């Protein structure tokens, strides 16, 4: 009963380093979404991907952030030259069909701390 | 501007009390989900509603989707300490297919 897997669960980086966050969707799901959450706030959409395609990246910062979902392997959210303001919990979700009526299932998140 | 407004933002009650939390918008949603999130964990899906006026029950939790599909409520009967958590509503818009819009959540604390 493998759900959405994310690793690492906790990541500490110094300012200027790179952070790589991984997400393996639920078995059979081909739609992946990344969200960011600050303490005591809701989730803010970042990017929606299907295999080898970025469908909607309207929530991604224009610089330093990128995401991919290759044909094989997990989806990767990459943050280059991290700054303290990048510290947050990053959640990945997956769904089977995509679209506005499909339900997204979430992973446990990666908590990024930038020193 | 927050597309989905959740209220109240914080709620602290005694065990055994009833409560209702709300999720409101001026937009029409194709579907709406309620999630519960505990500290340090990801959101866990409670329910999905898609039909205007729909009511779903999950043990002591009752979910209602407004007739116009712009709002929803979550009612908990006889709350227990295990209900403590952050309750999030999320909606799917036909114009933003694939992207869920989240409210900022209601933080519920149930005291023994």
pLDDT in tens, B49-106: 989 999 999 999 999 999 999 999 999 999 999 999 999 999 887 666 567 888 989 9
**Closest-approach residue (CA) in chain B for A57:** B99
Q: Do B42 and A106 touch (CB under 8 A)?
A: yes
Q: How large is the average pLDDT for residues A50-60?
A: 91
Shortest distance, CA A95 to any CA of chain B (angstroms)? 9
Residue A90 has pLDDT above 70, yes or no: yes
Residue B16's alpha-carbon distances to A80, B19, B33, B73, B76, in angstroms, are: 49, 10, 25, 19, 10
Residue A48: list chain B partners with CB under 8 A.
98-99
CA distance A98 to A56: 12
What is the pLDDT at residue B98? 63
pLDDT in tens, B18-35: 999 999 998 888 889 999
Residue A35: list chain B partners with CB under 8 A.
102
Long-range contacts of A63-68 (CB under 8 A, 24+ apart): A67/A34
The more confident residue out of A97 and A12 is A12
What residue spans of chain B are helical by DSSP H? none
**Closest-approach residue (CA) in chain B for A49:** B98
Whether residue B94 contacts residue B30, with contact meaning beta carbons closer than 8 Å, is answered with yes
């Amino acid at each position: 009963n493998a759900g959405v897997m994310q690793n690492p669960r906790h990541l500490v980086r110094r300012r200027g380093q790179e952070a790589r966050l991984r997400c393996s969707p639920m078995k059979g799901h081909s739609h992946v979404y990344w969200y960011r959450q600050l303490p005591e706030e809701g989730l803010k959409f970042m990017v929606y991907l299907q295999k080898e395609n970025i469908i909607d990246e309207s929530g991604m910062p224009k610089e330093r952030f990128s995401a991919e979902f290759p044909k094989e392997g997990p989806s990767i959210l990459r943050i280059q030259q991290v700054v303290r303001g990048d510290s947050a919990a990053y959640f990945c979700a997956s769904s089977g069909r995509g679209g506005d009526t499909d339900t997204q299932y979430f992973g446990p998140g990666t908590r990024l701390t930038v020193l | 501007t927050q597309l989905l407004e959740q209220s109240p933002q914080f709620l602290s009650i005694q065990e055994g009390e009833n409560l209702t939390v709300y999720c409101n918008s001026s937009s029409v949603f194709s579907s709406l989900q309620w999630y519960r999130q505990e500290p340090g964990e990801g959101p866990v899906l409670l329910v999905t509603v898609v039909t205007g006026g729909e009511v779903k029950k999950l043990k002591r939790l009752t979910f209602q989707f407004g007739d116009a599909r712009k709002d929803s409520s979550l009612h908990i009967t006889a709350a227990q300490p295990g209900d403590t958590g952050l309750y999030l509503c999320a909606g799917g818009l036909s114009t933003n297919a694939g992207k869920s819009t989240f409210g900022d959540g209601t933080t519920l604390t149930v005291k023994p």
